[in-house]
Amino acid sequence: MQMKYSPSLKVLLILASLVIVLAGIKAASAIVVPFLLSIFIAMSCSPIINWANQYRIPRAVSVVLVILLIVIFGFMLAGLVGQSMNDFSDNFPKYREKLVDQFAWAIGRLNDFNIQINKDQLLSYLDPGAAMNMATSLLTSLGGVLTNFLLILLIVVFMLFEAESFPRKIHIALDDPNMKLRQIDKFLLSVKNYLAIKTLVSLGTGLVIGLWLYALGVDHYLLWATLAFLLNYIPNIGSIIAAVPAVLLALVQLGPGIAGLTALGFIVTNTVMGNIVEPRYMGRGLGLSTLVVFLSLIFWGWLLGTVGMLLSVPLTMIVKIGFESGQDTRWIAQLLASDGSELKELEHQDEKDQNASGADNTSV
């Protein structure tokens, strides 16, 4: 005899199950975080492997070459950024003292215009060196996660070898052995393309920012370039967070003029990359609203820590793409979207797919 549940009871059961699942993920974050990083790296590298296969390079050779590049680049970057972090940590008290002096000077100029502000009280509420300290703390905590580098690397290797057969396994697992469900392929392709394109755009952003800061003579430019690369995965908010410590350091070290040029470099780079380059290759169908970006940052950061904050938007994008793949859950994806045009685009694309599927069946 099948029991019938009221709609309110169903909602309650779903919410209770969700709480249990999230509590389990948070408790197992030491295992989940390296696994998520491995998936992220493997999916970002997968297009390179596929590109090499087009030139008839054996998959084993291409995987080994990609892993070697990751290891060489990772060790070089870790050494350079690590040295920059150590130097910055040693000089941080001096930077903070100069920054407080600059802050006090600005408050004094405001008082000259009869804008009365108590310096000591304001500094007790707003520490101007906190943003710089937060940036280094973010990179330090990320470095703690990467102590499992060998484990992550091994998982990436096995994932890259299994990537070719993975789509067929998904079809079979979902009872679609003849691979007729196009939503599955659309989901896998969208996630892979999103992660690959976002990684390339983030690399470009970090490279341009690093060269710009080096040309201006700002100290520890590699540190701020790495921060810009990592936080570029968080649109809108990430670019602001990455710019603040670099601009403050330029203000302390080189004065207001260079600080203004530093801020201008961040604004121009993120505007070009975020509004021209990225939409050109990624399309409009992957946008998230600013509110969803901010809430996902809080949620994934609470659930998975620093890595969750950095991967908050990619993880939310994967959830959104998954909702887009099904007719019944598409309304949830629309709630996460940045505007109201995506649903019509998706419905139009579904009509094309159905027409193509009908033509295939007619021809058979």
CB 210 within 8 A of CB 222: yes
C-alpha atoms less than 13 angstroms from C-alpha of 268 in its C-beta half-sphere: 9
At residue 286, φ and ψ (nearest 5 deg) are -120, 20
Q: How confident is the model at residue 135 (pLDDT cuts 50, 70, 90)?
A: low
Element (H, E) at 76: helix 59-112
The full 3-state SS of 180-244, as one line of letters, equals CCHHHHHHHHHHHHHHHHHHHHHHHHHHHHHHHHHHHCCCCHHHHHHHHHHHCCCCCHHHHHHHH
Are the beta carbons of 341 and 284 closer than 8 angstroms? yes
Separation between Cα atoms, residue 237 and residue 239, nearest integer Å:
6
358 pLDDT exceeds 60? no
Q: Quick check: 321 and 337 in contact, CB under 8 A? A: no
Alpha-carbon distance of 259 to 251, in angstroms, equals 5
Angle of the 221-231 helix axis to the 59-112 helix axis, nearest 10:
110
Residue 326's pLDDT is 65
pLDDT for 211: 93
Query: Tokens 């003292």 correspond to what residue?
Result: 97
CA-to-CA distance for 33 and 152, rounded, in angstroms? 10
Domain boundaries, the chain: 31-358
**How far apart are the C-alpha atoms of 34 and 32, rounded to whole Å?**
6
pLDDT of residue 285: 44
The model's confidence at residue 56, banded by pLDDT at 50, 70 and 90, is confident
List pLDDT tens digits, range 182-204. 766 777 777 777 777 888 888 89
| pLDDT 10s digits, 203-252 | 899 999 999 999 999 888 888 888 888 888 776 677 788 888 888 888 88
Q: What is the pLDDT of residues 341-355, one digit of tens each?
A: 555 555 555 555 555
**pLDDT at residue 261, rounded to an integer:** 92
- The position carrying tokens 């710089």 is 132
Q: Report how far residue 196's alpha carbon sits from residue 178's, in angstroms, rounded to the nearest whole number.
A: 28
Interval 268-290 mean pLDDT: 73
For residues 343 and 75, the answer to whether their CB atoms sit within 8 Å is no
pTM of the model: 0.69
Nearest one of 291, 304, 297, 332 to 22, comparing CA atoms: 304
